[in-house]
Structure 1
Amino acid sequence: MIEEITITEDEERRYTELQLRALDCARSGDHDALELMLNAGMPANLQDAKGNTLVMLASYHGNSKVVELLVAHGAEVDRRNLRGQTPLAGVCFKGYEEVVDVLLENGADPNADQGAGQTPLSFAALFGHKDIVERLKEAGGSVRLRDRGMMAVGSIVNRMRN
């Protein structure tokens, strides 16, 4: 017979607070506190109300060591938020090269469609992050893709050279 477990309102509130703290740790780069939570069983793919994972939040705020920690605990590097965006696309917008490297080394897709045909490479090109564009190309990112406005990523990359 399986025993039914009852969770009190206080326990539910405390768990919610712990989840919010984990999300804050990912944003702020508090590696040590987050490591304690993960070792105690906090899910590495925890998401906020907008579907942003711990990896997404750590990436978007440039916290490469936290991204490495999360990946070591089984976090998915390409899990999308509710807007269909991947962590790699977010970091290509922001321009954090070290985080791009960590994500790519752990299997992030440089051609993942972010909606309207946009990709991490197109975001990096649009925002002028030349070194990231090169890293993405080396990782298999295609400059032949087109967004739904029919602008080829290659034409954006070529404009960066001029």
Structure 2
Amino acid sequence: MVKLQTQNSKLKTRRRGAALLVVLFMIMAVVVISLGILYRADMTAAGAQNYALRTQADYIAWAGLEHARALILANPNDPNTPDNPNHQAPYTLDDNGIYYYYLSPIGEPNQLADPNCWRYDSIECKVYYNKDNTQTNPRSILTTSILYDPNSHTAWFTNIRHSQE
């Protein structure tokens, strides 16, 4: 009888050890799956942040082209500003200066066959992101031509191209 009780207690101990191992493996599987979900969520958030930064850069590039158009409307014969004739200084849209853009110098207009239509070619706006006072690669580059009608004093964009370096 004593021998039978000893065998039963050993069997119960083995069963408890097996149950403990099963529970540990289940917990480990749940932890691994949870870490995978957290990693994927982190990558999704980083991708969304990059998309938001890129969208901001594109809007700032559009603002730079609108700036060039305003310079042409203000003085069609010499659209470069007197304080920044070659557009070497960056333009910022806010006090933080996180994003800034450079405009290429606006050249002489090409007067097409129609003297009432001037064309300014290859106006380029490059947008940079300033992170920790270090300049990054251009985030957005827009290049366009602007047509100007001196009679109606209007200007519009043609042939807009988007690129990245």
| TM-score (normalizing by structure 2) | 0.23
The structure that is helix-richer by fraction is: 1
The structure that is strand-richer by fraction is: 2
